Amino acid sequence: MNLDEYKGVYVFAQQVDNVINSIAFELIGKGKDLAEALGTEVTAVLIGSNVENLADELAEYGADKVIVVDDPELKEYRTEPYAHALASVVNQYKPEILLVGATAIGRDLGPRVSARVHTGLTADCTQLEIGDFPINPVPGKEQKHNQLLMTRPAFGGNTIATIACPDFRPQMATVRPGVMQKREKKAGVKANVEKFNPGFTPDNKYVEILEIVKAVSDTVDIMDAKILVSGGRGVGSAENFKLLEELADVLGGTVSCSRAVVDAGWKSKELQVGQTGKTVRPHVYFAIGISGAIQHIAGMEEADIIVAINKDETAPIFSVADYGIVGDLNKILPVLTEQLKAAKAAN
């Protein structure tokens, strides 16, 4: 592998139902930082069926170029045709960096592509920068410059590791949604589009889609909420979430939950905060009846203000809470909601 042949920062621009996922703009935003450090450009790779009209939106958020792979086989996400499309782009264009969102799609696509093109993949990155590897010179070992340094949490968020991929290209990372900053949208920018189709021949790896079942939901995405009222196993039942909903209503917030609540069937997966759910960064996070498994804490500890209510004073959630109250949520919440209503009325 001649590493010098590999140039440019590429991002996978995930779309579903011909709507670009916000992660694509976040990756372009971070990609611009990296490209500036390297003196190169950002190329978005848009894969789907009848998606070319989405390319300008990627340009508006900063993509210097958009490669469009458009084929009827790509209408719905399936691992094989998408992996073939993205791996073929890698083989054809030889990017030095390839970023993919750590979404349910990206975490399926990324490993398959990295294995196909034989390179490393760092999962769920929360920080990306250009630097030297090894970070400090080591006698007898070449220190390589302009490497992608990929930082990610491990052990359920208890350790952080910075990973490099010095001898293989592209340097691939999946990136946690909601962490990187989008650039400001420049309306009216037109994309520099390049069409590419490697050909799609269905084989045993093309799975058949029998049915697509969309969750019927009109709830706010918890990743966008400024105030989250989050409940855990301690809430006790699906019905008892009413107490949290009333509190959320008076604050203009949204209800979310821990994994235990999803496992118990009280709330749907899309409301789950944590390592296997969503990473949230609200202004205020109420952790109610949540003990605070580290997988949960990893998904919410970046909140500006954390208020925890738990009857167990040894609950780990208190180790990250700004304000911890040891007490019975069933008694505290109704009083709190009433007081907030009164406080609002007085304003």
Partner 1 sequence: MKIVVCIKQVPDTKGGVKFNPDGTLDRASMMTIMNPDDKAGLEAALRLKDQYGAEVTVVTMGLPKAEEVLREAIAMGADKGILVTDRVLGGADTWATSQTLAGALRNIEYDLIITGRQAIDGDTAQVGPQISEHLNIPVISYAQNLKIEGDSVIVERQFDDRYHVLKAKMPCLVTALSELNEPRYMTPGGIFDAYQAEITVWGRADLKDVDDSNLGLKGSPTQIAKASDKVRKGSGEVVTLDPAEAADYIVGKLKEKHVI
Task: Name the minimum Å distance from CB 281 to partner 1.
Answer: 13
Question: Rounded to an integer, what distance in angstroms lies between the CA atom of residue 43 and that of residue 41?
Answer: 7
- For residues 43 and 64, the answer to whether their CB atoms sit within 8 Å is yes
C-alpha to C-alpha distances, 324 to 80, 216, 229, nearest whole angstrom: 48, 35, 14
- For residues 117 and 29, the answer to whether their CB atoms sit within 8 Å is no
For partner 1, give the closer residue by CB, 93 or 318: 318
Residue with tokens 């590429």: 10
Task: Name the minimum Å distance from CB 157 to partner 1.
Answer: 7
- For residues 38 and 130, the answer to whether their CB atoms sit within 8 Å is yes
For partner 1, give the closer residue by CB, 62 or 299: 299
For partner 1, give the closer residue by CB, 239 or 313: 313
The separation between CA 307 and the C-alpha centre of its own chain, rounded to angstroms, equals: 24
- Number of C-alpha atoms within 13 angstroms, CB side, residue 166? 11
Q: H/E element holding 32?
A: helix 22-38
Task: Name the minimum Å distance from CB 283 to partner 1.
Answer: 7
State residue 41 phi and psi, 5-degree precision: -120, 165
Task: Name the minimum Å distance from CB 70 to partner 1.
Answer: 21
Residues in the chain: 347
Task: Name the minimum Å distance from CB 187 to partner 1.
Answer: 27
Cα-atom radius of gyration of the chain, to the nearest Å? 23
Task: Name the minimum Å distance from CB 240 to partner 1.
Answer: 16
Q: Round to the nearest angstrom and report the end-to-end CA distance of the chain.
A: 67
Q: Hey, what amino acid is at 329?
A: L
For partner 1, give the closer residue by CB, 185 or 205: 205
For partner 1, give the closer residue by CB, 30 or 84: 84
**Residue among 276, 315, 313 nearest 298 (CA):** 276
Task: Name the minimum Å distance from CB 195 to partner 1.
Answer: 26
Task: Name the minimum Å distance from CB 124 to partner 1.
Answer: 6
Residue with tokens 């909420």: 225
How would you classify residue 39: left for phi > 0, otherwise alpha for psi between -120 and 50, otherwise beta? left
The separation between CA 193 and the C-alpha centre of its own chain, rounded to angstroms, equals: 26
For partner 1, give the closer residue by CB, 22 or 40: 22
